[in-house]
Amino acid sequence: MSTRAKTDKFKYATVVRIGMKISELKQGMNGISIEAKVIDISEPREVQTRFGKKNVADATLEDDSGQVSLTLWEDNIKSISIGDTVNVSGAYTTSFKQKLQLNVPRSGKIEIVKE
């Protein structure tokens, strides 16, 4: 087996990163686990997706290292509030309009941290 074949074999491996800081996030990361405070949530808007019309909103998360936008779909929009500290797990990053975004797939979780 060539080196290239070995590299290709692991091309889509999930890297789990627990307890990251916002400042450590880079585009294209996945398996992210992060704890941060919700400091803002946009008004939900309706968008057309390949699955039909869906509601989406953006939450701004903050920790002691920075801020990042978290994309919230459908039921996740009302699951958190401004001022909540949340633990986001199984997330991945993308870039939209040259802005880093944190996204949570169906297999990921957004949980409120009980203080």
CATH code of the domain covering residue 9: 2.40.50.140
Q: Are 102 and 68 in contact (CB under 8 A)?
A: yes
Q: Which residues of the chain carry a pLDDT beneath 70?
A: 1-18, 115
Q: Tally the domains of the chain.
A: 1
- What are 16's two structure tokens? 């789990």
Q: What is the pLDDT of residue 18?
A: 63
Q: What is the pLDDT of residue 86?
A: 97
44-59 pLDDT tens trace:
999 999 989 999 999 9
Full residue range of the structural domain in which residue 53 is found: 3-112
Q: What is the pTM of this model?
A: 0.80
Q: What is the pLDDT of residue 17?
A: 55
CA distances from 55 to 21, 61, 62, 63, 94 (A): 28, 19, 23, 26, 19
